[in-house]
Amino acid sequence: MRTIFLSFVTIIYSFSQAQVIDNNNQVVDDSKSKAVASYAEKGKFHIALQDFTFGITTGQFTLSSLSVRAGYSITNRDIAFLSWRYTWNPRSGYSDALETEIFYRHYFTEKQFQPFLQVGTGVGYIKYAEENDYKPDHKFYGTIKAGAGIAFRYKRWRFELGIQSGYNQYSTARISIAPIVGVSFYF
């Protein structure tokens, strides 16, 4: 698992070092590419859709989760954000779950391709299915998450792709791995 994570971070770092080339095969001045994508600066806010989760539930392919987040750029490379995630049919025997988490994310560059690492913690609420006789109706639980990925900046937009590991999602006391997929807007 560690090897896969380190390989992923290496690939992300190599993308971040890519240079911008113009039509004459000349390296473009990096300050020009920063001007194109300079909206994620200290003091800016952002909103995002993220963590689109899907799978096969009772033999059908379904979208089962969606998250929104709101955050603040602490520096040009560091952001803090709150995330709210709603999941329906998270596992067999469950009805739905709601999680609220706080995250810190660090971007390693200020270029258009930005590798990042993030960590977060939060609380969740899970409601059990009615046919689940041996469990209570609902339960509160805590989560811890860490992830890595790469973001592509275009003006006020960021498109994100990565991988995240979490502990105790849906009160399972297990470690889970999930993709990070999202789009954010800075203002």
Question: 182, 187, 139, 140: which is closest to 161 by C-alpha?
Answer: 182
- From the centroid of its chain, how far is CA 181? 6
Higher-pLDDT residue of 159 and 34 is 159
- From the centroid of its chain, how far is CA 7? 19
Task: Answer whether residue 129 shows pLDDT above 80.
Answer: no
Residues in the chain, total? 187
Give pLDDT tens digits for 169-182. Answer: 878 888 988 888 99
Is the Cβ–Cβ distance between 163 and 149 less than 8 Å?
Answer: yes
Q: Which residue has the tokens 């991988």?
A: 163
Domains and their CATH numbers in the chain: 2-17+43-186 (2.40.160.20)
Tell me how far CA of residue 181 lies from CA of 66, 68, 148, 161, in angstroms: 10, 12, 11, 5
Task: Answer whether residue 185 shows pLDDT above 60.
Answer: yes
Positive or negative: CA dihedral 2, 4, 6, 9 = negative
Give pLDDT tens digits for 26-63. Answer: 555 544 444 444 555 789 999 999 877 666 555 655 55
